[in-house]
Each structure stands twice: as C-alpha cells, then as structure tokens.
Amino acid sequence: MPDTVPPIAELAVPAAWRTVDFLSDLHLESAQPATLQALAHYLATTQADAVFLLGDLFEVWVGDDAIDEPGSFEAQVCALLKAAAARRTLYFMHGNRDFLVGAGFAAATGVQLLADPTALAFAGHRWLLSHGDALCLNDTEYLRFRAVARDPAWQARLLAQSLAARRAQGRSARSESEARKQAGTAVYADVDTPAAIAWLQAAGAQALIHGHTHLPADHALAPGLARHVLPDWDLAAQPARGGVLRLSAAGLQRLPVDAAPLKATP
C-alpha cells in the first residue's frame, strides 16, 4: 500500500498570473452531453490565467489513438481543449479513469501533463495538487489495481490490443462500476488524514487540493494545514452537480457552473 510520500513535482508559474481555476471528476462521456456543454461554456468564459484539470476528466480513456478515429467522442473533446489551450494554459493530471492519457493527448490538445502530486507556489502560499486516489488508503482493492495500472509495461501490453478491444473493456468496466453502485456495494473511501498531512509536510505546502472522492468540502487537518475537495460534475443529475475552485490573491472561492445547454460544442 502507498503508505509513504511519493516524489513531489514542482511547478513554476509566470509571475503575471493572477487567477487559476481547479476542477476534476467531470467523467466526460458521449452519454452525458450536458456536462460537456457546461465544460465548453466554462472554458469559453472563464477569466482564469490557467485551468488545472485534476483527473477523471473522462469516464474512461482507452488510449490516445482514440483521438484519431474519425468522429470519435475523444476527438470532439480534444478539439474543444485545443481551442481552450490556445487562449490560456491548461494542465491535466491523471485520475483513476483516465490514467492512459499520454503524449498523444498532450500533442493533440496543447494541454500540459502534470505529475501527481505537484506542488504549486501561487498567491503567497504553497499548494499541493493531487487527484486524491492514492491517498484513499482504505480502498485497498483499488490501490492494488492502481499499482498495476500505473506500470508502464502493463500499459504497453494493454495499448498493444486493438482499439475496438480496449473500447469493449472500457464498456465492461463501466457496466461493472454501475452494477456495484446499484447494488450498494461500491466502495467510497475518503482521503486518509495522516497521509495527507505527511504529503503536505513533505511538500512544505499549507493546503491540499484534490478530487476523486466526490465529497466537496474544506477540511482543517492540523494547525496551518487544510484540504480542499473538488466536486464531481454531472449536469444531468437532479440537482445538477459541478463547480470550480478558483484561487487568487483574495483566497479560494467556490464557483458554480452553468447548466444551461449550448447550441453547439466546438
């Protein structure tokens, strides 16, 4: 189990930046057009200097070659991200659903890939960014899978399969996940507080920003240390879910996202 602190990357940002936004767990898929429309509207209207996508942007990512499939959902989303990245800096951090995102995605979109975890110095403080899944120590079954799925050799063997075969595996994994939710057997672990504190202390950071748990809240972990959890997005839910965490010199601000559908998605 990942009971030690992993290597922590450092991200230097331009001094001219004044505002950055964080979001995660959009779980984009073709069956959820309202969420994609909300993302398109957000990216077209945000005034942030940079946007950090902290994992699970996609419900499943079966490989960068899916972008090259004519008319694919992946190609549609990447075109949207490419247009957004031409206007401001976009970062992406792998989640538990899109750990196969690679250099092809970065080249197709202009989005910069981030290591998990990454320390960011901004607005007078140090912030530690993570998807959050590696900190859910009670989810032992998932962490065993995570250790395998992040192995380059395992990924290479998976990506050597045909795109059709990988798409079929992705559909099967989604079906199994939905079945566990319906049966009430799905595991919803939360971040381990001692582990989060250890990561923060190793990074010299005052606050952890993460997603994964779908439990948006602000937690005081210890004197001077905090944890800020991003919401998941589902604009078709009743009530709709989604939101952005904005960081500026004024501090952190939670912003809603527009659920109104647009006429077209770029």
Does any domain span residue 48? Answer: yes
Query: pLDDT at residue 222 above 60?
Result: yes
Q: What is the pTM of this model?
A: 0.94
- Domain containing residue 24: 17-116+139-190+230-255
Residues 106-130, mean pLDDT to the nearest whole number: 97
pLDDT, one tens digit per residue, over 5-31 is 999 999 999 999 999 999 999 999 999
Task: Look at residue 180 in the predicted model and tell me its pLDDT.
Answer: 67
Does any domain span residue 186? Answer: yes
Does any domain span residue 222? Answer: no
Here the tokens at position 264 are 């077209």
Does any domain span residue 5? Answer: no
Does any domain span residue 199? Answer: no
The CA dihedral of 135, 139, 141, 143, to the nearest 10 degrees, is: 0
Does any domain span residue 202? Answer: no
- The domain total for the chain is 1
pLDDT, one tens digit per residue, over 138-188 is 999 999 999 999 999 999 999 999 999 999 998 988 777 777 666 665 667
Does any domain span residue 123? Answer: no
- Side-chain half-sphere exposure of 47, counting CA atoms within 13 A: 5
Cβ neighbours around 256 below 10 Å, total: 12
E strand or H helix that includes residue 208: strand 207-210
Does any domain span residue 207? Answer: no
